[in-house]
Amino acid sequence: MQYNAWFAAQDNPNERYPLTEVVYYSTSGGLLEVQHDLDALRQRSADEWKQLFESRWMRTSWPYGSGVWGKKEWVCPVISDDNVVSMFEGGTNLFWAERLGIELGVENFWIKLCGNSHTGSFKDLGMTVLISVVRQMIAEGKPIRAVACASTGDTSAALACYGAAAGIPTIVFLPKGKVSTAQLVQPIAHGALVLALDTDFDGCMRVVRSVTADQGIYLANSLNSLRIEGQKTVGIEIVQQFDWHVPEWIVIPGGNLGNTSALGRGLLMMYELGLIDRLPRIVCAQAENANPLYRSYQQGFAHYEPMTARATAASAIQIGDPVSINRAIRTLQRFDGIVEQASEQELADAAARADRTGAYACPHTGVALAATIKLIKRGVIQKSDRVVVISTAHGLKFSRFKEAYHENTLPEVTSTYPNPPVEVAANVDAVRSVIDQYMERIARSISPR
């Protein structure tokens, strides 16, 4: 069976481009979407697709063991296997947050650990597709000299790493002083040209859009729909990991909002091809300090106004003018969606609570957890509902955030669960007394159930 996909304009289905063409916008200036030949995909039944995906899941036959490429026909069928640049992204743990769920009063609480990935965030899911397409373009003789992106940290880490693996030069634009050391170090280590600009993410985005008007420098931001195609596998994976059952809720943190629409796209494709017969509700969670989508939601999406994002510990979503705003609104409308926000206090405490029950949450995951907690308290999410929170990055990328939380020095936060190290004399009696106090504190804090 021959499967095919192409870029299409949203307002004109006849305006099409090959996926290997350097093009980001339609003639009317809208974003392009990847469209698949659904009639060809329908030649296989839903059960046959499930069996195929199961047979490839986490296996070694190149490149199908990757969570993304195991669904190659649905993601990017036009790439030859030789050009795939993969680090076996996807297939991440769906963590049963049993103790946190009990604390919060929901029976079925899960965290999809997308940060357990090669570069430590979900950005790998999209970058494997984009860099593979670039490799194919270069193989076909397209004069691409480098790939560039603006980033709040994780996109540049993924771009630089996949570029390094493929031997393709990369250029990253970062807002000076607004990304964590761990995030800055990754593109440096991978040999990217790292440009620290004295502006915010939105300012970097404007510069990179101009620079990539040059056809020789390919744009890797998520307005490039190739990334969305890889990222959409997260929704498919979650359903697969529940043996093809659909959870009631999926909660996802949103900044530039590409990932929110990607989640929706994967689920809708399953729905259209008959693998599932209902859709979950999607909650997009924003930091209160960078909440343009939340503000629009409050007005029933009747108005949208970009804002200047204020500083937030959730630095990867400190975005005031999201590129994928329209896509995300369409997704939320289709999925009976909700937008909730979290203050610095709420996101930091939520992450700390999750950590104390065995997760290790980055601040963005903290935003999603805090939003979930609010919806449970309001009775919107109910006790028996199955809830999945998407964790977007590994907590280890944000050690400074956690350190500051436990030192009680985070801006706008008074830490509710600080656990600073105890300095004690190197003397057995002193140590015993500290241990006793600690055990007493724990005994008091565990309430009988």
Residue ranges binding ligand PLP (CB under 6 A): 121, 123, 154, 222, 253-260, 316-317, 362, 364, 392-393
Ramachandran region, residue 163 (left: φ > 0; alpha: ψ -120 to 50; beta: rest): alpha
Compute the distance between CA of residue 104 and CA of residue 126 in angstroms, rounded to an integer.
32
d(CA 3, CA 8): 16
Nearer to ligand PLP by Cβ, of 108 and 121: the residue is 121
Closer to ligand PLP by Cβ: residue 67 or 254? 254
Task: Name, in order, each residue with C-beta under 8 angstroms of 17's C-beta and a sequence gap of 6 or more.
Answer: 6, 7, 23, 32
Report whether 157 contacts 120 (CB < 8 A).
yes
Identity (one letter) of the amino acid at 56?
R
Structure tokens at 45: 């039944």
**HEC string of 103-125?**
HHCCCEEEEEECCCCCCCECHHH
Least distance between ligand PLP and beta carbon 62 (Å): 27
Element (H, E) at 370: helix 363-377
Specify the residue, 63 or 187, whose C-beta has the smaller distance to ligand PLP: 187
Question: 32 with 26: CB under 8 angstroms?
Answer: yes
Q: Shortest distance, CB of residue 234 to ligand PLP, whole angstroms?
A: 11
What's the closest the beta carbon of residue 341 comes to ligand PLP, in angstroms?
14
Crossing angle for the helix pair 154-166 and 123-139, to the nearest 10 degrees: 40
C-beta of 84 vs 389, nearer to ligand PLP: 389
Considering the complex, what minimum distance in angstroms separates the CB of residue 50 from ligand PLP?
27
Q: For the CB of residue 359, give the shortest distance to ligand PLP in the complex, in Å.
A: 14
Distance CA(219)–CA(371), nearest Å, equals: 32
Q: Identify which of residues 123 and 281 has a Cβ nearer to ligand PLP in the complex.
A: 123
Closer to ligand PLP by Cβ: residue 20 or 256: 256
Which lies closer to ligand PLP via its Cβ, residue 73 or residue 154?
154
Nearest distance from C-beta of residue 238 to ligand PLP, angstroms: 16
CB of 326 to ligand PLP, least distance (A): 13
CB of 320 to ligand PLP, least distance (A): 12
Residue placing its CB nearer to ligand PLP in the complex, 168 or 257? 257
Q: Between 205 and 270, name the residue whose CB sits nearer to ligand PLP.
A: 205
Structure-block tokens of residue 372: 């979930």
Which CB contacts under 8 angstroms, 24+ apart, belong to 187-191? 187/156, 187/157, 187/159, 187/160, 189/160, 190/157, 190/160, 190/161, 190/163, 190/164, 191/160, 191/164
Whose tokens are 């944000």? That residue is: 398
Q: How far is the CB of 281 from ligand PLP (least distance, A)?
A: 18
Rounded-to-integer distance, Cα 379 and Cα 375, Å: 6
The residue type at 37: D
Asked if 352 and 420 count as a contact pair (C-beta separation under 8 A), the reply is no
Q: Using omega within 30 degrees of 0 as the cis cutoff, is the peptide bond preceding 63 cis?
A: yes
Nearer to ligand PLP, 136 or 256 (CB): 256
Nearest distance from C-beta of residue 258 to ligand PLP, angstroms: 4
